[in-house]
């Protein structure tokens, strides 16, 4: 089949016409000076400032004092603290039936008193050489054995009263009054939330940068409180082979008990602080196989035109990124609308601010997400 030149031209022009029609439906472009496109954009003026490079990750809250209290003796429970009861260190949180143990203690005490009295009498006789060395040693041995039996009975008697090892609140009861308990069996869970710690995993590639003392910002969106500034209290030396992370702990005071154990919180851990650097929004950087570039404003006859310049980027943190080369202070960089720009388009700047002001806004708006 043969096509004439006009028919071929018509076929080639039809897709272009359709594309132009669709484009006009999506975006209406105003005409600027000399017939070039006039594009609405937002810009920032480059200024130097400090750049906090941090990583974001999630952590889990746990109480520093959180223990399951078990019985060291066996017996029937006579009384036990109610769930929600606040106790102090040394308070009795459960009592066991101690009648058998107390009888054993009384018998051991009587035996010890008799053995000690016998030893004291024989000691004076031994000093006067009235009794033999063997008789004296036997008396001393019996006294020591009786003393050991008394101490054992006293320990068992004390174990019949289960005491709180620290100030806290009874969060769980595993037994009820009248039930039997055996040695090692859990009785209550005692928790003190006045002081808490947050556990999180740091990717192994940051092991040389995030250590004990590194600054941390804690965000707890679940309870709507202001971010809390703290530091890393503990940084582990062991890498988890499954997650390729090492553990850090951040300790916080929590006197009102607002922060609950097992809550999920967001952490911003500071890696380093760079001073007097240029930073821009990450979304302003265009990347292709040749590298990174940004659109800047070039002024001719008081008219702003789009110019594409190559840049070298450095560290990135959340929504912002460091510029190492390609830009200078005072350059006006397009940060919104650049995806539709072409080189030479006229710029209609509808909003502008400094690069630091935009960086602060983006940091406030950004939501901490795990960066692993």
Q: What is the per-residue pLDDT across 52-63, written as a single tens digit (0 to 9) for each?
A: 778 889 999 999
Can you tell me the mean pLDDT for 9-15?
A: 34
Least confident of 29-38, 73-82, 112-121, 169-178: 29-38
Q: With pLDDT > 70 as the criterion, what percentage of the chain qualifies? A: 88
Q: How far is CA 246 from CA 207, 216, 219, 261, in A?
A: 8, 16, 21, 21
pLDDT score at 7: 35
Query: Among 358, 163, 171, 154, which residue's Cα sits nearest to residue 262?
Result: 171
| Rounded Cα–Cα distance for residues 36 and 196 (Å) | 62
The mean pLDDT of the chain is 86
Please count the CA atoms within 13 angstroms of the CA of 41 that sit on its side-chain side: 27
The pLDDT-based confidence of 30 (bands split at 50, 70, 90) is low
Q: Which residues pair with 190 in a beta bridge?
A: 67, 170
pTM assigned to the model: 0.66
Element (H, E) at 65: strand 48-70
Can you tell me the mean pLDDT for 244-263?
A: 93
Residue 361 pLDDT greater than 90, yes or no: no
Can you tell me the mean pLDDT for 338-355?
A: 92
The DSSP 8-state label assigned to residue 256 in this structure reads T
The DSSP 8-state label assigned to residue 31 in this structure reads E
Which residues, 6+ apart, have CB-to-CB distance to 334 below 8 Å?
Answer: 41, 42, 43, 284, 294, 295, 296, 297, 306, 341, 347
CA torsion 190→195→197→198, rounded to 10°?
100
134's tokens: 């063997």
Tell me the torsion sign for CA atoms 160, 163, 165, 170.
positive
Q: With pLDDT > 90 as the criterion, what percentage of the chain qualifies? A: 66
Can you tell me the mean pLDDT for 304-324?
A: 90
Kindly report the CA angle at 162 between 146 and 109, in degrees rounded to 5? 15
pLDDT score at 274: 80
Can you tell me the mean pLDDT for 286-300?
A: 92
If one counts every other C-beta atom within 10 angstroms of the C-beta of residue 59, the result is 23
Please count the CA atoms within 13 angstroms of the CA of 349 that sit on its side-chain side: 20
The pLDDT-based confidence of 316 (bands split at 50, 70, 90) is confident
pLDDT score at 33: 63
pLDDT score at 179: 95
Tokens 């006859």 found at: 301
The pLDDT-based confidence of 221 (bands split at 50, 70, 90) is confident
Residue 26 pLDDT greater than 80, yes or no: no
Residue 185 pLDDT greater than 80, yes or no: yes
Residue 269 pLDDT greater than 50, yes or no: yes
| Rounded Cα–Cα distance for residues 356 and 346 (Å) | 25
Residue 21 pLDDT greater than 50, yes or no: no
Residue 280 pLDDT greater than 80, yes or no: yes
Task: Write down all domains in the chain, each with its CATH number in brackets.
Answer: 29-51+274-365 (2.40.420.20), 55-64+189-273 (2.40.30.170), 72-94+162-184 (2.40.50.100), 98-159 (1.10.287.470)
């Amino acid at each position: 089949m043969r096509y004439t030149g006009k028919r071929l031209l018509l076929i080639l022009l039809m897709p272009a016409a359709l594309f132009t029609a669709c484009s006009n439906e999506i975006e209406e472009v105003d005409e600027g000076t000399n017939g070039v496109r006039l594009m609405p954009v937002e810009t920032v003026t480059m200024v130097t400032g400090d750049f906090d490079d941090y990583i974001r990750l999630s952590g889990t809250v746990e109480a520093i004092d959180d223990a399951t209290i078990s019985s060291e003796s066996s017996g029937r429970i006579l009384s036990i603290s109610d769930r929600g009861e606040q106790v102090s260190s040394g308070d009795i949180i459960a009592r066991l039936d101690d009648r058998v143990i107390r009888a054993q203690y009384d018998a051991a005490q009587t035996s010890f008193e008799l053995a000690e009295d016998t030893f004291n009498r024989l000691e004076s006789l031994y000093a006067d050489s009235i009794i033999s060395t063997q008789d004296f040693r036997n008396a001393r041995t019996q006294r020591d054995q009786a003393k050991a039996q008394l101490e054992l009975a006293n320990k068992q008697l004390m174990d019949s009263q289960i005491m709180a090892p620290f100030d806290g609140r009874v969060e769980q009861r595993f037994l009820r009054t009248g039930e039997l308990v055996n040695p090692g069996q859990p009785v209550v869970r005692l928790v003190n939330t006045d002081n808490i710690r947050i556990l999180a995993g740091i990717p192994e590639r940051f092991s040389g940068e995030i250590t004990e003392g590194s600054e941390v910002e804690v965000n707890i969106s679940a309870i709507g409180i202001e971010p809390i500034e703290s530091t890393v209290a503990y940084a582990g030396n062991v890498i988890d082979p499954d997650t390729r992370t090492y553990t850090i702990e951040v300790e916080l005071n929590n006197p009102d008990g607002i922060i609950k154990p097992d809550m999920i919180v967001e952490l911003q851990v500071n890696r380093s602080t760079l001073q007097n650097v240029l930073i821009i929004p990450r979304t302003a950087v265009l990347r292709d196989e040749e590298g990174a570039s940004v659109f800047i404003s070039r002024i001719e006859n008081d008219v702003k035109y789009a110019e594409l310049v190559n840049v070298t980027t450095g560290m990135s943190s959340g929504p912002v990124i460091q510029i190492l080369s390609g830009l200078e202070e005072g350059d006006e960089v397009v940060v919104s609308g650049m995806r539709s720009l072409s080189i030479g388009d006229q710029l209609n700047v509808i909003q502008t601010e400094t690069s630091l002001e935009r960086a602060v806004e983006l940091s406030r708006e950004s939501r901490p997400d795990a960066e692993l």
